[in-house]
Amino acid sequence: MDEITFAVLGTGGIGRRALEVSQHKETLTPVAACDRRGIALDADGLDVDELLAATEGNIDNEVATDGGAGTAAVDGDGGGNEDGGDGVKQHGEDRGVVASDQARPSEDPIGEIVDRGDRIDAVLLALPNYEHDFIPRTADRFVEGGYSGVLIDVLKRSRVIDMLDDRRAAFEDAGITFVCGAGATPGLLTGAAALAAQSFVEVESVDIWWGVGLKSGYEDNRGTVREDIAHLPEYDIETARDLSADEIERLIDERDGVLEFEDMEHADDVLLERAGVCDAEDVTVGGILDVRDDEKPTTTTVRVTGTTFDGETATNVFQLGDETSMAANVNGPALGYLKAGVRRNRAGEYGVVGPAELMPGF
């Protein structure tokens, strides 16, 4: 497979770690990274070390509240509010990617990436999604700008898949392959479920149970934590977005830093159904997030129970080592699925696919 060039939209925790992990992957060259205020471009490959060193202390944690069609703002996945109240770790003059020598301010960073789209094989949308149409609307900009290539996100919400599906014909016409939900979960874990399902002719249930310990990564991943809060029974994506930083801290305090989720609305179900593994209703997702400890509060486990062709019922199990961080489990798979998406795209397969559909024709 030839060299792959890619861009990262959003330089929060996920965007920056994706750049870092890409350094370990052969054939992947990051040529652009942007946030809502600036952009770094280098067709020969960004100096990732410099970019990370310059931006680690200058994360732009503001939420992109809107921008309307054509002006969608680009945020990191940092979280926080429009007033910048979180002020996480900022200690430089410039916030966000412009702190890097390779970057400059931009009025329209997404537009600049779209304009260079013919030299970019894939675009990783490492964006938050407090408004659940934010990523679909960003995709619209790439369609409108004549981009053809791979778009890939690491989202979790089922309803976003539907919004992307509504755009399937537009993606196909444009020559875009949209890979959705390509992080740790749904990404890695639905991939594992699709693989584990191979022993069976009928899958009865897929149980996904995750543990994340996020003490040292908490500040970097406030956006992810906020999105997780939206999965708590008392909240939804809108009410979670409207929480102030203080309210989030209080909510976490009340729970001693531990948030437990059962029966989450999580795209794993629809993505496994799309891949033909099982019905969406046979998938359950839950987990425990501890923001005050780096040790995982529980072991991330995928259990696939099914019936074999010879009539036996059994459960295949996939478990992640407790020492693997969320960042490790998000970004390795995301880049792997990115490469798989580029292969599909080059073979002329366009539209919307989930990670489990990228597994060998299972």
Among 26, 44, 254, 281, binds a second copy (CB under 8 A): 26
Nearest approach, Cβ of residue 214 and a second copy (Å)? 13
Strands 202-213 and 283-290: parallel
Based on the shown chain and the rule CB under 8 A, indicate whether residue 2 belongs to the binding site for a second copy: no
231 classed as catalytic: yes
Nearest approach, Cβ of residue 310 and a second copy (Å)? 6
Across-strand partners of 261? 287
Nearest approach, Cβ of residue 349 and a second copy (Å)? 8
Based on the shown chain and the rule CB under 8 A, indicate whether residue 11 belongs to the binding site for a second copy: no
Distance CA 210, CA 331 (A): 16
Distance CA 199, CA 317 (A): 12
Q: Cis link prior to 233 (omega < 30° from 0)?
A: no
156 classed as catalytic: yes
Of the pair 25, 104, the CB lying nearest a second copy is at 25
For residue 258, give the nearest of 300, 215, 303, 301 by alpha carbon: 215
Nearest approach, Cβ of residue 300 and a second copy (Å)? 9
Q: Which of 62, 132, 219, 227 is catalytic?
A: 227
312 classed as catalytic: no
Q: C-alpha distances in angstroms, 183 versus 112, 155, 190, 329? A: 26, 7, 10, 7
Nearest approach, Cβ of residue 304 and a second copy (Å)? 9
DSSP state, 342? H
Binding residues for a second copy restricted to 341-360, rule: CB under 8 A? 342-343, 346-348, 355, 358-360
Among 86, 331, 350, 352, binds a second copy (CB under 8 A): 331
Q: Which of 62, 132, 219, 231 is catalytic?
A: 231
Binding residues for a second copy restricted to 188-247, rule: CB under 8 A? 188, 191-192, 195-196, 198-202
Angle at 325 between CA 322 and CA 326, to 5 degrees: 115
Of the pair 233, 360, the CB lying nearest a second copy is at 360
- Which strands form 177-179's sheet, in the order they lie side by side? 103-105, 38-41, 28-34, 4-9, 122-125, 150-153, 177-179, 351-353
DSSP H helical ranges for 23-133: 48-55, 109-115
Phi and psi at 17, nearest 5°, equal -70, -30
Based on the shown chain and the rule CB under 8 A, indicate whether residue 92 belongs to the binding site for a second copy: no
Q: Binding string, 174-193, against a second copy, x = CB under 8 A?
A: --------------x--xx-
Among 85, 260, 276, 293, binds a second copy (CB under 8 A): 276
Which of 124-132, 232-240, 254-262, 311-319 is the region at the interface with a second copy (rule: CB under 8 A)? 311-319
Nearest approach, Cβ of residue 197 and a second copy (Å)? 8
Indicate the residue type of 152. I
CA dihedral 293, 324, 50, 224 (to 10 degrees): -60
DSSP state, 87? -
DSSP H helical ranges for 96-180: 109-115, 134-144, 158-165, 168-174
Q: At which residue do the structure tokens 């992957």 appear?
A: 25
Q: Which of 132, 156, 266, 296 is catalytic?
A: 156
Based on the shown chain and the rule CB under 8 A, indicate whether residue 282 belongs to the binding site for a second copy: no
Q: Which residues bind a second copy (CB under 8 A)?
A: 1, 17, 20-21, 24, 26, 188, 191-192, 195-196, 198-202, 276, 305, 308-310, 312-325, 327-329, 331-333, 336-340, 342-343, 346-348, 355, 358-362
**Catalytic residue IDs:** 156, 227, 231
